[in-house]
A and B are shown apart, each in its own frame.
Chain A
């Protein structure tokens, strides 16, 4: 498990994922990584409205998945709800304006509307069938389909693949 001195988010990202795979070994005895009913995602609308979603609520939305393979050659299956689908359920969202996303560690990034249309990223809450703790960069991870679109392998898109997603601000 060699770690690069130059820790790119990309590498950071995949190394983290690798670590995540090992942790489930002693997670079995532990309770849920993130409380299912605790607010996981808060959506702030342009008019000041606030919509809060828990993991349970998100799990009730139509399930989608994206497959990724790490540089080490491991396969990952990310499961969650499509961001586009989520926005459909929110009045006022999906209006073509970019989304401001914020993470639990106070990182933030702008997701252009074209990305949502073209690449259909996934708000993932499950990796290989397991929920993710905050420690493991969960509970929510915005996953782009990197394997399906080679043009996504740039810093710009790695930056947009935000982990510990907690807030979405709609303009």
Chain B
């Protein structure tokens, strides 16, 4: 707000300058035009010669009057021919004729009426005589001569006065003309001076303008250079930024791809992915090529479009060999339109480890059988199924007899061997559908699916026999005898696993008490 009055003042200032300039130019133009007009007017006047011959005319009349008088006197004396007088009369007439109207005395400061009258008289006399005197008319000539001799002598002195007056008038006229010209010249001089000043002002302005323009031009050039520099810097930055980005993306352990929302136009695919999918050029990429299963690709796309982001999507991806990958997706804007950014990361290793972990979590390391937790889970599942389809199911609790003794006598290594052997035996003897597990120490359990009491008994007894028949060596190298005690319990409808386990366990206790190496049914 504070520089508004300053701005208007500046604007007014520059406007004033402009007005002043315009006024100056107009004034100069008018001066030049006016001067030119005056000059050409005067030049036209001076183009043709003008001679002020008034004095000469007056003189001539004076002289001719004298000659006419002499001729008249000669004629009267008979010394001259009449026609010769006619010549003189006509000559006089030719001299007085132009003076009719009398402009000889226009420039006299004070009038001389006597001179005017004299001139008038002379003119009228010459006119009369000219009319009278004719060629070959002697009589008329004599008459004219008589008149002339009478009137001319008296006019000689007055005619001289006419000449004096004419001279003065002429001199004044000439001086008036001189003054007129002087006025012209001084006026022109002033005009030229004015023009000189005007031109100087204009030149100063021009110089000022030129300087300003040059300064501005300089500034402009500098600015330009600056700008160009900045642009170059920015471009370099951008290029570097882009190059860095590309480097990062290419160096990324993930596969990165950026496409338009339709998936048709591929903006960027990083090196890793291109190599993995063996793409010749980026535009060869498509989501279907990334996933092993086209259906999975479609699901992924739909999820991304619906939720605008996808994280931790595990899928089977295509490559030389199908591999597990985890994918993330984002919807973003690129080049003014919607685009999809998809990362995928190879998690085969992780997946492998997951599997390992699962195995580790669910299996007993020594025997490879399910551990307690896993057994419980699987057995519960089996029971549920048996419950649903109302199928018989028998639970076996198995225990190695005198295992502690074996461990103490033959060492833990032999003990482990026994456990391992039993595990293998169980796996061998029992079916795939049966669930086997090591519940702890020397305790094992097996849930036989779709097995009634009779069959279960047979299986249990066979197991006992097989275990007894195992040929194992003790620490000393002597054969080692291992026996098994088994407790059996059939599934009761709507009975939880713990219930069956408890019953089987009780049965096992009974078997142990009864002398080991035997099979005992649960009583209820």
Contact = CB atoms under 8 A, between A and B. Distances in A.
Interface of A: 3-12, 15-16, 19, 30-32, 34-35, 38, 104-107, 133-137, 153-155, 158, 164
B156 to A, nearest CB: 17
Main DSSP-derived SS at the A contact region = loop
B161 interface: no
B510 interface: no
Given A5-B103, A105-B64, A135-B90, A15 B48 contact: no
B91 A104 contact: yes
B97 A38 contact: no
Contact of A154 (B49, B136, B173): B49
B31 to A, nearest CB: 31
A106 B63 contact: yes
B63 A6 contact: no
B91 A5 contact: no
Given A3-B98, A5-B173, A10 B48 contact: yes
Given A3-B98, A104-B87, A136-B94, A8 B173 contact: no
Nearest to A7: B53
Contacts of B63: 106
B397 to A, nearest CB: 155
Nearest to A30: B134
A10 B49 contact: yes
A11 B48 CA distance: 10
Interface of B: 48-54, 57, 60, 63-64, 67, 83, 87, 90-91, 93-95, 97-98, 101, 103, 106, 130, 134-136, 173
Contacts of B136: 31, 35
Contact of A8 (B50, B90, B91, B94): B50
Contacts of B94: 105, 134-137, 164
9 contacts: A8-B49, A10-B51, A12-B98, A31-B134, A31-B136, A107-B60, A135-B93, A158-B49, A164-B91
A5 B50 CA distance: 11
Nearest to A105: B91
A11 B51 CA distance: 9
B285 to A, nearest CB: 98
A107 B67 CA distance: 14
Contacts of A4: 50, 103
Contacts of A15: 98
B53 A8 contact: yes
B356 to A, nearest CB: 128
A3 B103 contact: yes
Given A105-B91, A134-B94, 4 more contacts: A6-B52, A7-B57, A35-B135, A134-B93
Given A31-B136, A155-B49, A19 B87 contact: no
A7 B83 CA distance: 30
A6 B90 CA distance: 24
A153 B46 CA distance: 12
A12 B54 CA distance: 11
A135 B133 CA distance: 12
A71 to B, nearest CB: 8
Given A104-B87, A134-B94, A137-B94, A34 B135 contact: yes
A155 B53 CA distance: 12
Contacts of A134: 87, 90-91, 93-94
A5 B98 CA distance: 11
A47 B50 CA distance: 39
With a 10 A CB-CB cut-off, give which of A4, A8, A32 has the most chain B CB atoms.
A8
